[in-house]
């Protein structure tokens, strides 16, 4: 498990931080990468500030196998991700010839300068386009960094285009057990179960159900049998304290 490839997601955009736009890409990528055996270890939401984008990208690309960015590659003045990625790698920004061809074919004529901005990438022979079947405006890859659109449907299409290029490991599975019980009532037992199953990640997530406190205990691991064994012990603890646990995926 420790040798599994790792990933980081950079969600770029003031609109996310303001709360005006709700990010939907983290959930998709987290689940999709887990199924591929790639551990999404970190996600950061950062503003449209060039120095912040450059510094953050240079930090995380040295830490993780893969870095995915979403947002900031559109046609407007605040779409600055491409320029920041180029700066992080010490590259110039160019209009990628193949990207221009894709946009011309899509629009049926040479697009205006704003739309041609979506054909920009860092320079260098190692830069590869990421196909976008939705609107033709591509993302791009440079080294271990994959630059994708922020619109969820387009980000998903771009990810599926690059998925075959990613090296995965053992897939991560998860399951859970829920009960109407306060998590503090089972905290000590959970600690002991976690220690007994060190290769299973056990998380406790309280919630309210019709005004009553409840908790969902989620177990994650590459071994389904270990998940089942750990959750069966959690369920037994819940039952011993008068709760009625419900197991689920």
Can you give the chain as a three-state secondary structure string?
CCCCCEEEEEEECHHHHCCCCCCCHHHHHHHHHHHHCCEEEEEEEECCCHHHHHHHHHHHCCCCCEEEEECCCCCCCCCCHHHHHHHHCCCCEEECHHHHHHHHHHHCCCCCHHHHHHHEEECCCCCEEECCCCCCCCEEEECCEEEECCCHHHHHHHHHHHHHHCCCCCCCEEEEEEECCCHHHCHHHHHHHHHHCCCCEEEEEEEEECCEEEEEEEEEECCHHHHHHHHHHHHHHHHHCCCCCEEEC
pLDDT tens digits along 138-181: 999 999 999 999 999 999 999 999 999 999 999 999 999 999 99
Q: The whole model's pTM is what?
A: 0.88
Q: Work out the percent of the chain whose per-residue pLDDT is above 70.
A: 99
Banded pLDDT at 203 (limits 50, 70, 90) = very high
Average pLDDT in the 122-150 region? 95
Is the pLDDT assigned to residue 34 strictly greater than 50?
yes
Is the pLDDT assigned to residue 2 strictly greater than 90?
no
Structural domains in the chain, sorted by start: 6-165 (3.40.980.10), 173-248 (3.30.70.260)
Is the pLDDT assigned to residue 209 strictly greater than 90?
no
- Residue 1 is predicted with a pLDDT of 45
pLDDT tens digits along 45-64: 999 999 999 999 999 999 99
């Amino acid at each position: 498990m420790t040798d599994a490839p790792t990933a980081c997601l950079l969600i770029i955009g003031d609109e996310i931080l303001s709360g005006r736009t709700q990010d939907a890409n983290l959930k998709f990528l987290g689940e999709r990468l887990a199924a591929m055996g790639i551990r999404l270890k970190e996600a950061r939401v950062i503003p449209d500030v060039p120095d912040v984008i450059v510094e953050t990208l240079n930090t995380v690309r040295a830490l993780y196998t893969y870095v995915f960015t979403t947002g900031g590659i559109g046609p407007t003045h605040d779409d600055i991700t491409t320029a920041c990625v180029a700066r992080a790698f010490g590259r110039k920004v160019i209009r990628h010839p193949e990207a221009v061809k894709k946009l011309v074919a899509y629009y049926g004529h040479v697009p205006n300068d704003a739309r041609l901005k979506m054909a920009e990438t860092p320079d260098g022979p190692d830069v590869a386009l990421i196909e976008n079947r939705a609107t033709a405006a591509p993302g791009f890859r440079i080294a271990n960094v994959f630059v994708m659109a922020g619109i969820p449907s387009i980000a998903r299409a771009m990810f599926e285009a690059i998925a075959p290029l990613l090296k995965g490991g053992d897939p991560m599975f998860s399951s859970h057990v829920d009960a109407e019980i306060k998590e503090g009532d089972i905290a000590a037992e959970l600690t002991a179960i976690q220690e007994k199953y060190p290769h299973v990640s056990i998380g406790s997530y309280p919630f309210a159900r019709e005004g009553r406190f409840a908790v969902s205990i989620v177990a994650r691991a590459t071994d389904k049998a270990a998940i089942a064994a750990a959750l069966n012990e959690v369920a037994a603890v819940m039952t011993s304290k008068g709760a009625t646990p419900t197991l689920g995926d």
